[in-house]
Amino acid sequence: MTAPVDPTGTEAWATLTELQHDFQPDLRGWFAADPQRAATYTFTAGDLFVDLSKNFLNPQIKQALIALAEQVGLTDRIEQMFSGQHINVTEDRAVLHTALRAPEDGTLEVDGQDVVGEVHEVLRRVYEFADKVRGGTWTGVTGKRIETVVNIGIGGSDLGPVMAYEALLPYKQDGLTARFISNIDPTDAYTKTHDLDPETTLFIVSSKTFGTLETLTNARLSRSWLLDGLIASGAISGDEDSRKEAVAKHFVAVSTALDKVADFGIDPANAFGFWDWVGGRYSVDSAIGTSLAVAIGPDNFADFLAGFHKIDEHFRTTPLEQNVPALMGLLNVWYNNFFGAETHAVLPYAQYLHRFPAYLQQLTMESNGKGVRYDGSPVTTSTGEVFWGEPGTNGQHAFYQLIHQGTRLIPCDFITVANPSHPLQDGDVDVHELFLANFFAQTRALAFGKTADQVRAEGTPESIVPARVFTGNRPTSSIMAPALTPAVLGQLVALYEHITFTEGTVWGIDSFDQWGVELGKQLALEVAPAVGGDADALANQDSSTQSLIDYYRSQRRR
């Protein structure tokens, strides 16, 4: 593995620095001067129609960004990832989420393993299981059909499945719903189970490591809820065998640690494996998506995977000049490192994508929130912008004020689809068209603003003219697709995976480890006895932690 190139030492960085120095964004002027601007900067990737024209882009900037990608070796890094080299250096692992969606006739041997064959073997088992649940041949212990599938997982073992389930609700089988327990706050397990019938509920314990405190705790809580409920209703006797049988019919697992699955009491025959070369936040397209596969069915799940693959192919084979994930990642670097942008909003104009920003938070921030490069040396520039967002139009009535008129530069991605999931009319008005009008209007307002003269021309009193001026020149990217299908969702996710990879490559970081989450986990275990009243453990805490725990213990009602 060659050492990362310091991006700030490249010729391209120097060029970008110079370009930024004299830079005067003028989206109004650029569009007025060049009727071809939209066409020049609009690209397609799979079914995605991506308009980058309202960004701080001109031919020199685009060229310099591409030069930066070349000088940090992006093309080689892409090839290293796709071919299974151990680019996750700190964990000494290949990074092969792209193999999870490779077509069945593909081959890829990594560390002596035929990865594609194994992927399709697990998929075949997941699909078989999904069909059984959907068709009612997999029943609960009393022979009743499964009506609710509860995924228990956290982070990548939750955010992907829940985001995709919500996004693809119209594809869900009638009479079957999914729920997701993730938080160790007991409220989560309680609210997700208290109104369910144990006889018709199936739990999928999803954990790559099968060692995550939250997931194992919630799995135990759910197992108790199931067995207590079945015993209380007389559905099972409660003896050892009946308990075992109930767990076997109501619990399956997804993990890379099948030995730990067995220790928990789940029959390994009811477990779906995956591999250490799949990062948690890149795993929705592995067996971690089993709850989704059950809800939407194998055919739709296969379409979802095919969508990912389309963008993988685009990313791997399209020249950088038209390579959408690469260009979007490079633009993010441009805003981050040359304009000091610290956050990036992702604004889906599709209600079913309401969990997409939350999903992206893990994908982008757990991947690129790093202060050292993959060789252990410090990063040479700022990394890892904060991704956030809410669906439009709700966000418009909440935080868009700051994006339009605040002092911070917040690049935004606007995402929508041409065909609504539920077309509705309000009298003569097609409500989806009204919704889209907002989508189009927002990026226009952000780009072109409203001048003081325009405000005055509306008869605004002089004293409030400044408050009503919109400066414009606020960069946005617009992403459109024909409809929110499983394939399009797969394309959107893969797009952001590769944007994240592009940024990580420029910064020279390992986007596939997550050591930053470990200390908090370790300390939680250390603090737990103090919370429970262990005086010695309490004495070992700092004074702030002691006082907070004292407050908790003085307030708790038991």
Q: Give least dist CB 152 to ligand F6P, A.
A: 10
- For residues 257 and 531, which CB has a smaller minimum distance to ligand F6P in the complex? 257
Q: What percentage of the chain's residues is helix, strand, coil (to nearest 5)? A: 55, 15, 30
Q: Give least dist CB 154 to ligand F6P, A.
A: 5
Among 7, 155, 297, 348, which residue interacts with ligand F6P (rule: CB under 6 A)?
Answer: 155
- For residues 289 and 297, which CB has a smaller minimum distance to ligand F6P in the complex? 289
Task: For residues 172 and 149, give the distance between their C-alpha atoms in angstroms, rounded to a whole number.
Answer: 12
Is residue 370 annotated as a catalytic residue, yes or no? Answer: no
Task: For residues 362 and 365, give the distance between their C-alpha atoms in angstroms, rounded to a whole number.
Answer: 5
Looking at 397, 458, 462, 518, which residue is catalytic? Answer: 397
Footprint of ligand F6P on residues 67-126 (CB under 6 A)?
none
Hey, what are 406's tokens?
A: 């605040």
Give the range of 35-43, 154-162, 231-239, 307-315 binding ligand F6P by CB under 6 A.
154-162
Among 65, 69, 141, 154, which residue interacts with ligand F6P (rule: CB under 6 A)?
Answer: 154
- CA distances 420 to 145, 426, 479, Å, are 32, 15, 15
In the chain the first and final C-alpha atoms are separated, in Å, by: 57
Q: Taking CB under 6 A as the rule, does residue 280 contact ligand F6P? A: yes
- For residues 58 and 290, which CB has a smaller minimum distance to ligand F6P in the complex? 290
- For residues 366 and 385, which CB has a smaller minimum distance to ligand F6P in the complex? 366
Q: Taking CB under 6 A as the rule, does residue 157 contact ligand F6P? A: yes
Task: For residues 454 and 73, give the distance between their C-alpha atoms in angstroms, rounded to a whole number.
Answer: 47
Give the range of 130-138, 208-216, 431-439, 440-448 binding ligand F6P by CB under 6 A.
208-216
Distance of CA 190 to the CA centre of its chain: 26
Beta bridge partners of 113: 110
Q: Which residues contact 25 (CB under 8 A, 6 or more apart)?
A: 56, 473, 475
- For residues 163 and 487, which CB has a smaller minimum distance to ligand F6P in the complex? 163
Footprint of ligand F6P on residues 361-420 (CB under 6 A)?
366
State whether residue 334 is helix, strand or coil: helix
- For residues 47 and 214, which CB has a smaller minimum distance to ligand F6P in the complex? 214
Q: Taking CB under 6 A as the rule, does residue 207 contact ligand F6P? A: yes
As to burial, measured by CB atoms within 10 angstroms (0-12 exposed, 13-18 middle, 19+ buried), residue 248 is middle
- For residues 38 and 257, which CB has a smaller minimum distance to ligand F6P in the complex? 257
Task: For residues 126 and 122, give the distance between their C-alpha atoms in angstroms, rounded to a whole number.
Answer: 6
Q: Give least dist CB 311 to ligand F6P, A.
A: 21
Among 201, 215, 290, 502, which residue interacts with ligand F6P (rule: CB under 6 A)?
Answer: 215
Contact 153, 207 (CB under 8 A): yes
Phi, psi for 252 (deg, rounded to 5): -125, 170
Task: For residues 476 and 345, give the distance between their C-alpha atoms in angstroms, rounded to a whole number.
Answer: 9
Among 4, 7, 156, 504, which residue interacts with ligand F6P (rule: CB under 6 A)?
Answer: 156
Number of chain positions touching ligand F6P (CB under 6 A)? 15
Contact 277, 93 (CB under 8 A): yes
Is residue 11 annotated as a catalytic residue, yes or no? Answer: no
Q: Give least dist CB 536 to ligand F6P, A.
A: 28
Q: Taking CB under 6 A as the rule, does residue 281 contact ligand F6P? A: yes
Mask: binding to ligand F6P, 466-495, rule CB under 6 A, as x and -?
------------------------------
Contact 375, 507 (CB under 8 A): no
Task: For residues 85 and 328, give the distance between their C-alpha atoms in angstroms, rounded to a whole number.
Answer: 25
State whether residue 32 is helix, strand or coil: helix
Give the range of 23-31, 201-209, 377-385, 494-502 binding ligand F6P by CB under 6 A.
201-209
Nearest residue relative to ligand F6P (C-beta): 280
Is residue 526 annotated as a catalytic residue, yes or no? Answer: no
Give the range of 78-86, 148-156, 422-430, 457-465 binding ligand F6P by CB under 6 A.
148-156
Centre a 10 Å sphere on the Cβ of residue 49 and count the other Cβ atoms it contains: 16
Q: Give least dist CB 273 to ligand F6P, A.
A: 13
Hey, what are 157's tokens?
A: 């073992």
Residue with tokens 């308009």: 51
Centre a 10 Å sphere on the Cβ of residue 32 and count the other Cβ atoms it contains: 11
- For residues 441 and 524, which CB has a smaller minimum distance to ligand F6P in the complex? 524
Q: Taking CB under 6 A as the rule, does residue 514 contact ligand F6P? A: yes
Task: For residues 418 and 488, give the distance between their C-alpha atoms in angstroms, rounded to a whole number.
Answer: 12
Give the range of 151-159, 319-327, 431-439, 474-482 binding ligand F6P by CB under 6 A.
151-159
Contact 191, 218 (CB under 8 A): no
Q: Taking CB under 6 A as the rule, does residue 212 contact ligand F6P? A: yes
Q: Amino acid identity of 378?
A: P
Interface residue list for ligand F6P (CB under 6 A): 153-157, 207-209, 212, 215, 280-281, 366, 514, 517
Catalytic residues: 366, 397, 521
